[in-house]
């Protein structure tokens, strides 16, 4: 999609459609919507008075211009209540409007500056949010569909309206940032939506190499023999039931001359999770192709960080394996030794994500990273607790928690902090090893997070459990069915906050 910033009168824009907004409860149209209403002979006002346009979030109303203006259609999107208006409402409104027009096979769309009169929203940030909404809201994954009859249309050109030419540079900067964030999230969506026979551990390594070439990143792929030398017994134990070779992927971005890693992003990369010997029920097991969403997220995030040229050094670390049953597979009751030397009693082979992350977090700690954030579809318990609305945040570092929650609020990827009290550690105690990999049914998301905490030492560390937020089964705002790309944009925002804080100090 080509995205331009243009100035001029919205009533004179030549396009298949123009998109404008209306606040909930408004008695009459305002700003660009009012100008279009006048050009259309009061059509918008009449629909407001008749109760057909109410301005509620998610509401989309189309009016054919019948030649009264150059644009063939006027689309009014609901902005919700004026006092509750945020940048995320801009993303959602633009996404809903563009997806509606995409289904109508409209190829050329003009978008007004939605909510421009709100003092707390700058034109630059509005342009960024509109760009994200348009790109994310019109996403679809059809790579393996050969029938083309029902293929949705494609918006080839999107024009964002600017009130005057003086702010064009800022608006273009907003579009550039929005595109980088949205396209990174789309990369993560594509990776997660791929079937597991296409997105193997080796395929994830191929993606890393491609990103390295495209964004001048450094990449290292550790093979099984390398992991054996490093003592990654937990990861290798999970991998031993599959014929797919494990890959330990390290992608480095250097955004400043100083040495060291400012931020290590660690992502769970289970490309298919059958549960191993502790096999899962067959119902919905196909969704387990998405158990590498954390790995996809950190790889996509570092690509956007590099694209935006953020001033910090970042490492993305992805342990990529399959978890399958077989004659050589890991068994309940086995004991594994992680990279740190800590021994793990395996209670369930279906609690495999925390074991591969144990070695990845131990590796990140040996890098002496200043901050570590891991992302994983780790526990069904977190999805039960928070549903599909919020990602669970677990950490013993409150400053890092506050930063990630603030970043999530900005991006619309909502976060909620969960407890990490030492009292829960009792559940992870083993009689025959240093720790066991399952702490029981109670507080399962917390005991899983406390398991991970055993492998990070004293480094400021934060764990994001995206089990509920990595996929969605319905279309809403800028989310489409399948992978969501959560929390790619939040990770980039966090990296930006860390970079700016370092610059101040």
Alpha-carbon distance of 196 to 225, in angstroms, equals: 24
User: Strand, coil or helix: what is 367?
Assistant: coil
The residue from 91, 118, 189, 354 that is catalytic is 354
CB 90 within 8 A of CB 98: no
Distance CA 80, CA 184 (A): 28
Spatial distance between the Cα atoms of 367 and 221, rounded to a whole number of angstroms? 16
Q: What is the dihedral of CA 259, 185, 94, 131, to 10 degrees?
A: 40
- Set 280, 388, 425, 497: catalytic member: 280
Q: What DSSP letter does each residue of 17-77 carry, written as one string? A: EEEEEE-TT-SS--HHHHHHHHHTTSHHHHHHHTTS----TT-EEEEE-TTSSSSSEEEEE
**Tokens 């006027």, residue?**
74
Q: What CA–CA distance (Å, rounded) separates 391 from 272?
A: 21
Catalytic site includes residue 366 = no
In sequence order, which residues have a C-beta less than 8 Å from that of residue 198 and are 6 or more positions away? none
Angle between helices 488-504 and 168-193 (to 10 degrees): 130
Q: What angle do CA 49, 112, 185 make, to 5 degrees?
A: 115
The count of C-alpha atoms lying within 13 angstroms of the C-alpha of 50, restricted to the half-sphere facing its C-beta, is: 7
User: What is the Cα–Cα distance from 439 to 446, expressed in whole angstroms?
Assistant: 9
Between the alpha carbon of residue 188 and those of residues 143, 207, 263, 292, 293, the distances in Å are: 15, 11, 19, 10, 7
Pairing of strands 391-395, 461-465: antiparallel
Bridge-based pairing state of the strands 461-465 and 372-376: parallel
Distance spanning both ends of the chain, measured CA to CA: 39
C-alpha distances (whole Å) from 198 to each of 143, 193, 229, 287, 297 are 11, 10, 29, 14, 18
Inter-helix orientation angle 444-453/353-366, to 10° = 30
Is residue 331 among the annotated active site residues?
A: no
CA distance 333 to 192: 31
Tokens for 56, please give them. 């509620």
Q: Which residues are part of the catalytic machinery?
A: 280, 354
């Amino acid at each position: 999609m080509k995205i331009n910033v243009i100035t001029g009168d919205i009533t004179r824009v030549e396009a298949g459609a123009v998109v404008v907004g209306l606040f909930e409860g408004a008695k009459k149209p305002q700003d660009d919507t009012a100008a279009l209403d006048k050009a259309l002979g009061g059509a918008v006002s009449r629909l407001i008075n008749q109760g057909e346009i109410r301005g509620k979030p998610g509401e989309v109303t189309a009016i054919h211009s019948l030649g009264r203006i150059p644009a063939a259609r006027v689309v009014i999107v609901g902005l919700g209540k004026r006092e509750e208006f945020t940048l995320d409402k801009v993303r959602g409104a633009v996404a809903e409007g563009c997806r509606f027009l995409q289904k109508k096979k409209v190829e050329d769309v003009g978008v007004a500056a939605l909510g421009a009169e709100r003092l707390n929203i700058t034109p630059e940030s509005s342009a960024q949010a509109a760009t994200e909404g348009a790109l994310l809201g019109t996403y679809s994954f059809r790579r393996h569909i050969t029938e083309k009859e029902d293929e949705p249309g494609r918006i080839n050109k999107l024009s964002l309206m600017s009130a005057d030419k003086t702010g064009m540079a800022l608006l273009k900067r907003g579009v550039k940032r929005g595109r980088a964030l949205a396209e990174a999230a789309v990369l993560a969506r594509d990776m997660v939506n791929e079937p597991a026979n296409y997105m193997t551990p080796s395929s994830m390594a191929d993606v890393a190499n491609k990103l390295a070439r495209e964004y001048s990143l450094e990449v290292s792929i550790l093979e099984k023999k390398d992991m054996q030398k490093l003592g990654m017994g937990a990861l290798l134990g999970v991998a031993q039931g599959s014929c797919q070779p494990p890959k330990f992927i390290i992608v480095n971005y250097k955004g400043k001359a100083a040495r060291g890693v400012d931020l290590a992003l660690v992502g769970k990369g289970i490309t298919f999770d059958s549960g191993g010997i502790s096999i899962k029920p067959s119902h919905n097991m196909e969704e387990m192709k998405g158990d590498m969403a954390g790995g996809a997220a950190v790889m996509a995030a570092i690509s956007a960080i590099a694209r935006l040229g953020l001033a910090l050094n970042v490492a993305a670390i992805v342990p990529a394996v399959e978890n399958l049953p077989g004659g050589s597979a890991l068994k309940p009751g086995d004991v594994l030794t992680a990279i740190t030397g800590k021994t793990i009693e395996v209670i369930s082979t279906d609690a495999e994500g925390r074991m591969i992350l144990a070695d990845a977090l131990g590796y990140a700690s040996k890098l002496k990273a200043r901050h570590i954030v891991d992302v994983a579809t780790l526990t069904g318990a977190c999805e039960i607790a928070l549903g599909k609305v919020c990602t669970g945040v677990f950490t013993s570092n409150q400053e890092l928690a506050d930063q990630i929650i603030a970043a999530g609020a900005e991006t619309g990827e909502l976060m909620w902090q969960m407890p990490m009290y030492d009292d829960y550690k009792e559940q992870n105690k083993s009689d025959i090893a240093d720790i066991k990999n399952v702490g029981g049914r109670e507080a399962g998301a917390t005991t899983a997070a406390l398991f991970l905490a055993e492998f990070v030492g004293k480094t400021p560390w934060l764990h994001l459990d995206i089990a509920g937020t990595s996929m969605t089964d319905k279309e809403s705002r800028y989310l489409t069915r399948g992978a969501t790309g959560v929390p790619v944009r939040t990770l980039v925002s966090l990296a930006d906050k860390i970079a700016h804080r370092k610059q101040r100090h």
